[in-house]
Structure 1
Amino acid sequence: MSPGCYLYQGGQTVKKILKGNQVIAYAVSQANISVIPVFPITPQTTIIETIAELIKNGKMSSYYIPMESEHSVMAACIGAASAGVRTFTATSGQGLLYMHELLHWASGARLPIVMGVVNRAVAPGWNIWMDQSDTVSQRDTGWIQIYCTTHQEIYDHLFIAYRLSEKVLLPSMVIQDAFFLSHTMGEFEFEENEKINRFMKSQPEIPFAFDFNQPKTLGSLSDDTNYMEFREKIYTAFIDAQQEIKDLYQEFEQQFGRSYPIYETYQLDDAEIVLGLSGTIYETSYEAIDDLRKEGIKAGMVKIRYLRPFFTEELRELMKNKKKMLVIDRNFSFGRDGVFASEIKAALQKDPIEIKTVIAGLGGRDVTKNTVKMIVKKSLNENLPEIYWEKEVFV
């Protein structure tokens, strides 16, 4: 691996050019992570391969544990986190589904595990390409879900996810698009270890971690006298997470100079039609919005980074006085709607705005800028159904 890099503005920040999977691996190498259980699955595999190479070359020091399955991987993460140390793993698609039972266990046990997930379509048919169906199907497991759109977001949010998880005691997924990010070279600012260490602080303080001087039982029977209270505490932790995210973004900007609003927007102020987007479709749509405006169509867009927690009030404020919205979902909840569209419709149900769902890009099908433009034009010129499936790829 020989990524191109150069010094940035004569300071300590270095710009690197790496693939998305390498980016998160390099961030992991700086995060003082003690235990990394792993199992390979495309398109995630190069994350754990890069970590193995970094350990081999002395760039990081972690217990790297090859396991026999993704189910075992998450079990090992739970054990390590219960001992009070930072843990990391990565997975995709069917591997994430295989972890499902233990995802609930990790959140219910209030363990600050962080996992990199490279979105992959769910089989059958067997498909290794980009599709958000794997992660959105885990939205009710009690994990924070962060959907990244650039290499810089992947890098920065690995550190933010650890700080957030360790504050509210909930696990987090740092999510990126398969191949469009994971296997595509991109530029990002790579920070010196000293600055990262200041932001990351010490190892997590888990109040119920194993302590041989104070033996305790973990995971014992919970009956009707306390089970509901445990669930309410997770609910409260997600509410608390919203303010913690805002505070962490402010701290991150102060230390590194990069800012992250809860919702990123483009050309929203006077927009007559707004696109609700997540993942790399947002980056693709910059040019589409510019082209549409040259044609007299006042389009704008908003990026949804967090599926859990979902920032309802902030979205309502952004969309105040807007009349029309199209949500392009790279996923689908059978019997209902696109998942991001469902969340947005629920959040804006009290507001007088027309919201329609467009399902596009499933199974790795490309969503080009021209596809985005055609979707917008169809919505203006045709009476699209409530849920419209865009199967064409406009080159």
Structure 2
Amino acid sequence: MRDLRKGLSEECRRDEGCSMKDFMTGNHAVANAVKLCRTPFIAAYPITPQTAIYEKLSEWEASGLLKGIMMRTESEHSAMAACIAASLTGVRTFTATSSQGLALMHEMLHFAAGCRAPVVMANVNRLLAAPWGFWADQLDSLSQRDTGWIQFYCENGQEALDTVIQAYRMAEQVYLPVMISLEAFFVSHFMEVVDLPEQKQVDRFLPPIDLSHKFDIDKPGFLVPVVSSELYRKYKHMAQGSMDSVKKVAVSVDQEFKKEFGRGYGIVEVVMLEDAEIVLVTAGSITSTARMVVKDLRKQGHKIGLLKIRLFRPFPVEAARDALRGKTRVAIIDRNISLGSGGIFCQELRAALIHSPDHPLTYSYIAGVGGTDVTPEVIQKIAFDALSRKEPMDAPIWIME
């Protein structure tokens, strides 16, 4: 039996590679990150638009470039169960899914977090049926926000690659699983130049895994057995403490990543906020379009700023408050909808700002649901609409173009 705790074989290390730029999709950027992390256990079930991640990893396994175990399961539920089991033996694990696949995993997502298994998963955001479709929508991952998983939302393929590498470092510090989300087609299938780091850089940043919380065949025992009500409460209280620590850990890991690789993202990003009269709040690929719109509107004399939310769970409450201190109006653009409530990023941001002494007016805009394109013209329309408003408004504003 192979001891996967020792990582990938020396044969796989024969081509250490070097830092280089390559033209690839977001899905292939994720697959490259998994390979660079020397992940020895991968379990997955293909589903559009995640399939290319699975295919690329399978291709490397077949050619000998990826060593370890690649388990082809009969469902996403089984893939997550396999990753939990492998993780609890003390090895790095990876899976990827989308939409209905993530929904099918729901039971095991709770189990992964409850077992304190540092599984890393890429979720390619796709709308949830019904009606059926394959297009970008963030509701699949956002509807899992209470499962105990750390969640990141990536703007492009480069950020997806880098966040996967960071995710292992974070997960193994706080003993919680991490979900990295990238939108269907806008990121997953969009081809762009991606900087692939050197293998030796990744090895320095991500040393061999050493988990204290794992099965030991020499010391048989139980992990997460049936417990009393009091122990369950204590266990959840401890998990909450670990989740609360993630924000500081994420900032620290990102800073160390920047020192090693020259790129950093933070848990939020601020763009031209100093004198902004309106702040656009985005997450994921819409951010790239919003950046361009902010620059163009600034040239026209409009004081528009941008706040990008990268870390969603735990929500970066303090960072968001600091970024929006002194601002009067905020327009949150959500590519999702919680029926009966509104945009989910808007819900979280309003809750974060509730105790701010200078609470800004917050406006919820629903745009891009179901994969509709959020063009520069749409974002300009949102910015000007928010500029025209002077009173609070609870109901979300749907952009139907």
What are the residue-to-residue correspondences of 1:254-273 with 2, within 5 Å?
254-273=259-278
Deviations 1:30-50 (A, max 9, x none): 112111111011110110001
Residue in 2 that maps onto 1:390: 398
C-alpha distance in 1, partners of 2:282/2:266?
Answer: 15
Structure 2 residue corresponding to 1:381, chosen from 373, 385, 388: 388
What are the residue-to-residue correspondences of 1:296-375 with 2, within 5 Å?
296-351=301-356, 352-375=359-382
C-alpha distance in 1, partners of 2:132/2:91?
Answer: 36
The answer as to 2:185 corresponding to 1:176 is no
Post-superposition offset of 1:293: 2.3
Residue in 1 that maps onto 2:205: 199
The answer as to 2:168 corresponding to 1:157 is no
Alpha-carbon RMSD across the aligned residues, in angstroms, is 1.5
Post-superposition offset of 1:330: 0.6
Residue in 1 that maps onto 2:289: 284
Q: Is the 8 A contact 1:145 1:308 kept in 2?
A: yes
Greater displacement, 289-298 / 142-151: 289-298
Post-superposition offset of 1:262: 2.5
C-alpha distance in 2, partners of 1:354/1:143?
Answer: 30
The answer as to 2:73 corresponding to 1:67 is yes
What are the residue-to-residue correspondences of 1:78-89 with 2, within 5 Å?
78-89=84-95
C-alpha distance in 2, partners of 1:304/1:360?
Answer: 16
Name the SS for the 1:328 alignment partner.
strand
Greater displacement, 171-180 / 241-250: 241-250
C-alpha distance in 1, partners of 2:268/2:183?
Answer: 19
Query: Matched residue pairs, number?
Result: 382
Greater displacement, 350-359 / 379-388: 379-388
Question: What is the letter of the counterpart of residue 76 of structure 1?
Answer: A
Question: What is the letter of the counterpart of residue 306 of structure 1?
Answer: L
Q: What percentage of aligned pairs have identical amino acids?
A: 40
Q: Is the 8 A contact 1:375 1:390 kept in 2?
A: no
C-alpha distance in 1, partners of 2:102/2:71?
Answer: 18
Structure 2 residue corresponding to 1:227, chosen from 232, 245, 249: 232
Post-superposition offset of 1:384: 8.6
Residue in 1 that maps onto 2:251: 246
Q: Is the 8 A contact 2:278 2:386 kept in 1?
A: no
The answer as to 2:34 corresponding to 1:28 is yes
C-alpha distance in 2, partners of 1:256/1:355?
Answer: 36
Name the SS for the 2:181 alignment partner.
strand
Question: What is the letter of the counterpart of residue 290 of structure 1?
Answer: K
Residue in 1 that maps onto 2:142: 136
C-alpha distance in 1, partners of 2:27/2:42?
Answer: 15
Name the SS for the 1:337 alignment partner.
coil
